[in-house]
Amino acid sequence: MKEECGVFGIWSPQKKTIAEEIYLGLYALQHRGQESCGIAVSCDGVFQHYKHEGLVGEVFNREALDRIGEGNIAVGHVRYSTTGGNNHHNVQPLVVRHMKGNMALCHNGNLVNARSLREKHELNGAIFHGTADTETIVYTIVSERLKASTTEEAVFQTMQQLQGAYSCVLMTATKLIAFRDPFGFRPLCYGRMQDGSYVVSSESCALDTIGAALIRDIDPGEIVIFGKEGIIEDRRLCGNRPALCVFEYIYFARPDSVIEGASVHAARLRAGRFLAQESPVDADVVIGIPDSGIDAALGYAQESGIPYGVGFLKNKYIGRSFIAPDQMTRESAVKIKLNVIAETVRGKRVVLIDDSIVRGTTSERIVRLLRESGAKEVNMRISSPPFRYPCFFGTDVDSQDNLIACRLNTLEEIAADIGTDSLAYLSVNAVHRLTGRQQGMFCDGCFTGKYPIDITENQGKNKFEQPLPPCEPGVRCPNSSSFLCTPRELCP
């Protein structure tokens, strides 16, 4: 499973080398996306931007940061392509120049009505260059801005048309605007620096990196405008029951982040404790798979009384973009990234903690490594429920194809497939208690199949890159809801 994206923005009352602060913030959010990154800066209304495929440290050197120059407003983005392929047209920020000014948008999340919105704009003459949902948001804001008196009003009108997950930062010549979908699927917060600058970020850990103090999370449905008039809050679309993606606590977020007032590290410790209560096992050592399995392993050890051990060494020099050129190298990819500390597991009954099992291929290889290193037993415990359904709100699992919990029917079958002596998952009920908050505050659709929003359109990862299906004359076109099909040579 892959992360989605990270957004970062700064509004400053004075000019400064703002791109360097965005750069540091993006470094702190690198775990949320490793395919591409970008920064856009406004200096007296003049936009400069630089973006490219690659990690933050690879894309931005001294020359690139100097090229962007000083400014008082800036936005940045790190991306993993949950919708739309990894190509340059999809790299963010998306910078747009229209008759009422300039703007740059960064977006985290997925829309579930992007296809119909995109079609509406195309019928009005819009030409799309990329295949990501973000471009649809940009076109909608621009079309509303041409009718509205302010950009923030255009954002408000746009939000009433969007369905799905979006946590965004938008830069204009004079303002930084942050807005979050009414369900709050993806996190978004803001803080303040000592020089009076305001900072918006996907996670609070990035605020810490540049010395900004966390003020609060932006509420689901809220629009917050940062400008010379101070902070303006628009809460007209607030009021839905929040549905934050529970995987932010289980896997996506950095453990040093605080989301909705709850420590991610503490939530993962609690997940491990709940696992020990629900699924105890006689064992000699508890180990966690780096990185997000470690905190849960500590919690399991604390609750069970079984000693915690460091079972794996992670190769910190290999990036998420590691490419396995042939089958033999692909088989060795897990060992390249993770190596077992044999002394910890040799001759012992091991409790192995991980955050999730998606396809099962990586889990099988890790279990095999433990056995080759002399583990007597491997009992696997997962700090989330079985992943049975696709996610449509910003996680790279857009169908049930290859999900091991769908392919196999029982825990015993899954355990046999990955080679463990026993297997247990955290219950859905326990997941909703990870932060100590009231029940029903999370989206758990990937476990239960129950989503806060009805899904009616094709939500495939590459839904705008699929070849056109064949037309059947006289019936409604499968490629457009607005036309009846005609012979192929006349297809609109």
* Active site residue ranges: 5
Q: Which two tokens stand for residue 245?
A: 């993606």
Name beta bridge partners: 49: 40
Write the single-letter amino acid at 250.
Answer: I
Closest CA to 193 of 12, 8, 9, 7: 12
| HEC letters along 117-134 | HHHHHHHCCCCCCCCCHH
CB under 8 Å to 62, separation ≥6 — which residues?
A: none
Q: Is 480 helix (H, G, I), strand (E, B) or coil?
A: coil
CB under 8 Å to 370, separation ≥6 — which residues?
A: 311, 340, 345, 350, 352, 378
The dihedral built from the CA positions of residue 458, 463, 466 and 468, taken in this order, carries a sign that is positive
Residue with tokens 């509004």: 11
Q: Is 12 helix (H, G, I), strand (E, B) or coil?
A: strand
Closest CA to 443 of 138, 184, 221: 184
Contact 221, 199 (CB under 8 A): no
Q: Beta-carbon neighbour count of residue 291 at 10 Å? A: 13
